[in-house]
Chain A
Amino acid sequence: GENVEQHPSTLSVQEGDSAVIKCTYSDSASNYFPWYKQELGKRPQLIIDIRSNVGEKKDQRIAVTLNKTAKHFSLHITETQPEDSAVYFCAAHEKLTFGTGTRLTIIP
C-alpha cells in the first residue's frame, strides 16, 4: 500500500524566516497531493494542493513543489508569522494516505 513519510517531525523557525517541510510517497499512482494545517484543538484545513501534472503551485506565502520522478513533494512557507504555528500534514491521494505531521513553531 501507499506509504507517506514526512520530515521533520518538529521545526522551529524565527519569525520572518522560511520553513520547508518535505514528504515522500511510494505509490506512483498517487496523483493528488494536498497539505493540511491543524491548529491546536482545531480540525485540519486544506491550505494548498497540487496535482500530479503540475510541478509547482504558489498561493501568497505558501508554495508546494512536486517531483514525480523522485516521488517527493515539499511545502514552503516564506516570511513566517506567529499564526503559522501549527501541525502540518501532507497527503498522497489515490489511497488517502497522510504523513505523520510536522509541528511548526514560529519564534517571535
Chain B
Amino acid sequence: KAGVTQTPRYLIKTRGQQVTLSCSPISGHRSVSWYQQTPGQGLQFLFEYFSETQRNKGNFPGRFSGRQFSNSRSEMNVSTLELGDSALYLCASSLGLAGGYNEQFFGPGTRLTVL
C-alpha cells in the first residue's frame, strides 16, 4: 500500500500571502489529521477530518482552515501568512477517528517558510 503523501514538499511564501497544502491518505483511511511541527513546540494538533467533516479542532486561529474531499484527500489552507507560521506541516491518516485507538500514519510533511 502506498503511504501518506503530501504536496508540495517545500514552499516559500511572503507575509500576507495564503497557502494551500495537500494530503493524500493511505487507501481506505477515512481520517486525516493535520499537525504543525516547530522546534521546541513538538507536534501541535490543528484539526482532524473524517468523512468530509471536521471532527476535532486544536487551538489555532481561524486563518488555519481545512477540508476533506469524498476520496478522503485533504487540504489545509493558511491565509494572511505570518512569520510565525514557518514550520513543518504534517498530516496523518488513520482508518478511523484518530482518538479511537487507531494508529496514525504520518506523511513526509510540507516545509513552509514565510519570509
Contact = CB atoms under 8 A, between A and B. Distances in A.
A94 B107 CA distance: 21
Interface stretch (A56-64, A73-81, A97-105): A97-105
Tell which of B48, B99, B103 has the most Cβ of chain A within 10 Å.
Answer: B99
Main secondary structure of the interface of A (DSSP, over half): strand
Interface of A: 1, 6, 31-32, 34, 36, 42-46, 49, 51, 89, 91, 93-101
Given A46-B104, A89-B42, 20 more contacts: A6-B42, A32-B99, A32-B101, A34-B104, A42-B108, A43-B106, A43-B108, A44-B43, A46-B103, A51-B101, A93-B98, A95-B56, A95-B99, A96-B45, A97-B45, A98-B35, A100-B40, A100-B41, A101-B42, A101-B43
Contact-size category for B: 20 to 34
Given A1-B59, A32-B101, A44 B42 contact: no
8 contacts: A1-B59, A31-B101, A32-B100, A44-B43, A45-B106, A49-B101, A89-B42, A93-B98
Nearest to B46: A96
Contacts, number: 54
Interface of B: 33, 35, 40-45, 48, 56, 58-59, 90, 98-101, 103-104, 106-109
Contacts of A96: 33, 45, 48, 56, 58, 98-99
B90 to A, nearest CB: 7
